[in-house]
Structures are given as structure tokens and as C-alpha cells.
Amino acid sequence: MSRQAQAAVLFLIGGALLHASFTDLYLRYVKAGLRPLLLVAGVVLIVAAVATVWYELRRPRAAEKQAAENESGTEHHDGHGHAHREPRVAWLLALPILALILVAPPALGSYSAMRTGTALQKPWGFEDLPAGDPLRMSLVDYAGRAAYDQGRSLHDRQVKITGFVALDRGGTPYLVRMSLNCCAADGQPVKVGLAGKTPPVLQPDTWLEVTGTYTGKRAEDPVNDGVIPFIKVTKATPVPAPRDPYDEGGG
């Protein structure tokens, strides 16, 4: 690839990173907290591309000729003594970059969730819950309290949690949120089983806002033997997928 082509690819990659960062597309790939790093990386790549083009335009023609002569021993020449140009197929490297801009991959869903063990970990401690009935809380917070606090802070409280539906092979429904350490490649599910007044028909990957109460019912995740707590459902309402499907901050 020529320097100009390299600069073009760098510019496209930098532009794709900035586009993803400014349009929430990046949330399909990495955690929200990594947005500043993506912005910096995009700017650096674009500056590098511009600097490369500037350097190429400023470089004296004599230096280009000398460099060509020095490299002539390694170049292949045709019958007229001219060096072959770089193969146009090299520009296919730009296709994945354009795909990043034009095609948004789906967020991790029920297929991944039911083939990966629960990522629920025992919290260091439990803060007092605020007032409210029902109390809106994150699925991960509910799962941690239900599994490791024996529901002490949840007794006699109605709660609201949000997640997408996943079904195991036996048809048992779960409400799930995917948790990220860094990016979608390391996403792991936190699962809460649904008991009580569940909808008669549940489609995998449908997002639900569930209102319910604590129940001591638990299950063992068949993938990693982790604890899966349940919630006794009193109401389940379909809702649109959230802006950040991996963010547990808003519940």
C-alpha cells in the first residue's frame, strides 16, 4: 500500500471511531465509560492520516526518486522498466471499516445468555434501599440481594426490574442483563428466574419491565452451577430496548 492509501485507511478508521462514539453505536462494542478513549483514539488516527498526507506532499521529488532507486532492487518490473502499482485489492481493507459505520451489530441476547453461566458475584455489602413502592432497582442489585442477602432488604417490598427474556430448554423464563468488563466480547449474563404471574407467551429477547416481590426460590445455573434467584411476578410489561443494553445504572 502507498503512503496515500495508508493515510486514507487511517482516516477512515479514525472517522469510524468518532462516528460510533458520537452516535451511541460504540455501546454495541464497549462499555459506556470507554467513550473518552475512543474519541481520543479517533482524533489521533485522523491527525496521523493528515500528517502522513502532508509529509508526502512536502517531501521533495528528488528524495522520492532516490528512495525509488534504492528500492529498485526489490521491485518487480514489467517489460518497459516500470514498477508495478500496488494491487487494487488492498483497498478491500476499507470494507470492514465501512461496515462498522453502516451496519450496527445486535446486542448480545438470549442465545448468548443461555450458553454462558451467570456472572452474579457476591457483593461486598448492601446499602439501605430508598423509599418507594414499587422500588425501581437494577436487575443485578435485585439478584445480589436475593441470592446473597436472603432477601432481608427485599421483604415486603415491591420492586421493578428490567431485562430481556431468555428461555432454557425446559421453557423456564428468565429476565437477563448482560454485564461487561470491557467490551461485548467478554459479556456475561446475570439471570433472574420469573415465577408467579408471567405472561402466557414469552418471546426470547423481548424486553420486559417486571414488577414483583422477593421469593426464596432459587435455581442452579446448568452452565457454571451459579445461583439464579427468582422474583415473584405481579406484573410484566413489554418495553423498548434501552439505549445502553449493557448498562445497569438505570435498572
Give the model's pLDDT for residue 173: 94
Give the model's pLDDT for residue 166: 94
Identify the residue with better confidence: 165 or 199: 165
Give the model's pLDDT for residue 105: 65
pLDDT band at 102 (very low <50, low <70, confident <90, very high): low
- The per-residue pLDDT for range 203-245, each reduced to its tens digit, is 999 999 999 999 999 999 988 999 999 999 999 999 998 888 8
Residues of the chain with CATH 2.40.50: 110-238
The number of residues making up the chain comes to 251
Identify the residue with better confidence: 170 or 6: 170
Give the model's pLDDT for residue 81: 46
Cβ neighbors of 140 (< 8 A, separation 6 or more) are: 120, 177, 179, 190, 248
E strand or H helix that includes residue 237: strand 227-238
Tracing cell 487494487 back to the chain, one arrives at 88
| Mean of pLDDT over the chain | 80
Confidence check: pLDDT of 83 > 50: no
- The per-residue pLDDT for range 118-160, each reduced to its tens digit, is 989 888 878 888 888 899 999 999 999 999 988 888 988 999 9
- The answer to whether domain 110-238 has CATH 2.40.50 is yes
The CA-atom distances, in angstroms, between 172 and each of 12, 167, 216 are 46, 5, 17
Give the model's pLDDT for residue 1: 57
Confidence check: pLDDT of 249 > 50: no
**136 three-state secondary structure:** strand
pLDDT band at 186 (very low <50, low <70, confident <90, very high): confident
φ/ψ (deg, to 5) at 8: -65, -40
**167 three-state secondary structure:** strand
